[in-house]
């Protein structure tokens, strides 16, 4: 009788130990998910910042193209006056 009870309690203990690592694993995956979400958010912010820089440089390029176009237009006008 005593031996039988001992076996049963041992089984219960071992099953609790088996359950414990999975609970631990669950909390670890929660931490990992939280960490991944933070990382994703940081990368999104970085991406957004890069897009802004690209947009700014395109705007600068557009302005310089406009200046080039203006100087060509001035050149064209002066050529026209020379031709006259």
Count of Cβ atoms closer than 10 Å to residue 59 Cβ = 10
Q: In angstroms, what CA-CA distances link 19 with 2, 62, 65? A: 26, 64, 68
Q: In angstroms, what CA-CA distances link 83 with 61, 76, 77, 78, 80? A: 32, 10, 10, 9, 5
pTM for the structure as a whole: 0.27
- What is the per-residue pLDDT across 5-61, written as a single tens digit (0 to 9) for each? 555 565 655 555 555 555 545 567 888 888 888 888 877 777 676 676 776 666 666
d(CA 65, CA 68): 5
């Amino acid at each position: 009788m005593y031996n039988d009870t001992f076996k049963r309690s041992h089984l219960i203990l071992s099953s609790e130990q088996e359950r414990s690592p999975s609970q631990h694993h669950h909390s670890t995956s929660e931490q990992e998910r939280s960490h991944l979400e933070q990382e994703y958010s940081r990368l999104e912010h970085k991406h957004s910042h890069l897009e802004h820089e690209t947009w700014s440089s395109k705007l600068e390029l557009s302005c310089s193209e406009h200046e080039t176009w203006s100087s060509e237009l001035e050149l064209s006008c002066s050529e026209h006056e020379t031709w006259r």
